[in-house]
Amino acid sequence: MLLPVSFLLGLLCLLGSSELAASLPHRAKAGTLVPYLALLPLPALLTLVLLRRVRRSEARSPGLTLVRWVAAPSVYLVLLEGGDLRTLAEQWAGSSMSLTTVILLAPLLLMEVLVWAAHRWSIRTWGGFDRMVPLHANGVVLLTVLVLGFVLGVDALQLHRGIQVFVLHTALGWMLAFLSLSALLGVFLPVLFRLVMPTSQLVPEDARFTARTLGFPPGNVRMLRSRYRLVNAAMVGLLAPFHCLFLTDGLLRVLDPLSIRGVVAHEVGHAKARHPLLLAVLFVFVPLLLYHPAEAVGATRMSDVTAAVVALPVVAVTVFVMRRVFHRFELEADQLSADALGGAMPCILALHKIGELFGSSKVRASFRHPSEEVRIDHLLRCDGDPAYRAEFMRRGRVLRRALSLFLLITVAVNLWAHARIWPVDRLLVAFYSGRFEEAERGLVALGDDVPADRAGVVAQLREEVAAARQILPHGGRWNDIREELARRALERGKRVLIEVGPREARPWFSLAVDRPCPTPLELSLYYYCRAEAARDGREAARMRDHLTRHFELGEELTRALAAARTR
């Protein structure tokens, strides 16, 4: 694995904190975080203690692995929640998602650097332990660059309000954005991998010759330095012109030239057969394209119990299909390798050597790969039995035709779903771009002809359009009007909350917080009114208690909240 488990778990803590945290809007203080910063060296210190014990006992330590995995994520979670790191990052960074992400990732990255320094010190003092640590550092840099590139793209959307609303608030927008992001990754990930990871062009001439013979650019075959810890080969990139083949130094060290030719031909076979793209289409893009059709027929509005009952067989079938497709593609790549090299021997030799190296069973298949016995038997039968070979190739053609037909049906159903909800989504773009009159005319023309899954969105939009038209009847360029719109909407929202009630005040507070950096009080009032409008009594009570305990509301708002409590 090119990434340390601790860093991946830390990112999961960050995502889980944003999605599941129960913290309420408040103003954080830097002093809350300062005492927790003393915990940052803890993972490195624990690593040194355990490395010393390993050195004395000269045996592997399960405790060292466990500390590596959980120490840094645990400290990071304490900083996020106990130290208010998330709230402080949002306060300091304002509306910049990029700066927020940098602040949030800084402690996690610092802990990884300290652990890396601890390993370096232990190598100089006690001798080598884990030669994967430098490679893990490169993997952390690679993933960090990808994350920062993504958030920079999200921030760039602020340059054009219409595009921002289209991407972030419409079904068609975020689907097109995801497809565009995937295409960019397919082009730039191999280049970025080459730049960030410790790679070189020091590969055997046999590997380059084999790639050149098979029509694969020999300059795109590179060695990945892992200090001989990894014995593997990988094709990076989804799109054929941008594929890059990486052979680890461990693989080049243990295989003879003929076996290396078999490995290169096998991986080039994957590229020639477009296996990476087919897998991405089948297991990433198709589920994405099916989401909105499922939403249109009400599948996303199931109860939790019904969803669990439906999900179990769906997941089981998906896992079964994935395993079968993975195995099929491995056999195809083996066969393409044999065809390209004029025989199956190079591929068979490589399978034998790698199997012996890892001590794997010859008859046991993994999730991704058939067993060594099945792969060798397939290669030998294709060489000696023309009927078997013809049937194998025919099944491959049938599989691709079936996948093409399935994809066409999926795209057609997806287009139907988007055509059904686009009349509503385009009104969202018009309204949140400042074209209030256009949005109002569109809502009138829409009438009651609203898809069931968009009824709630349309109802809220009608309320917000009516509220915005009362403040700024003609709208305007969003960046020019949003501060005045938010200020006047906040004043009107408080008045409506006091005189009428929280449900009627919701659209006003929704307009009030649709600007960079709304205050904790404004957010809390909005969340409270939203909960009341949704008739979520538990959330409304939680927000009401939060408001009365932590903010100076004045007599009128306090009475309004007390009156709502008794209703």
Q: Is the pTM of the predicted complex or chain greater than 0.85?
A: yes
User: Which pLDDT score, from 0 to 100, does residue 567 have?
Assistant: 63
> SS3 of 244, please?
strand
Cβ–Cβ under 8 Å, residues 331 and 273:
no
Long-range contacts of 46-55 (CB under 8 A, 24+ apart): 46/71, 47/71, 47/115, 47/118, 47/119, 48/118, 48/121, 48/122, 51/118, 51/119, 51/122, 51/126, 51/129, 52/122, 52/126, 54/129, 55/122, 55/126, 55/127, 55/129
Q: What are phi and psi of 381, to 5 degrees?
A: -65, -40
Decide if 264 contacts 243 (C-beta within 8 A): no
pLDDT of residue 127: 64
Instruction: Give the pLDDT of residue 256.
Output: 86
Separation CA 81–CA 242 (nearest Å) = 42
pLDDT in tens, 332-345: 999 988 888 888 88
Beta bridge partners of 375: none
Note the pLDDT of residue 125.
76
DSSP 3-state of 165: helix
What's the rounded Cα separation, in Å, for the pair 535 and 204? 68
What CA–CA distance (Å, rounded) separates 10 from 312? Answer: 28
Q: At what angle do helices 520-533 and 537-550 cross, to 10 degrees?
A: 150
Which residue numbers in the chain have pLDDT < 50?
none
DSSP, collapsed to helix, strand or coil, labels residue 222 as: strand
If DSSP codes are grouped into helix, strand and coil, which group holds residue 260?
helix
- pLDDT value, residue 391: 93
The domain locations on the chain are: 1-159, 436-566
Residue with tokens 């921030």: 155
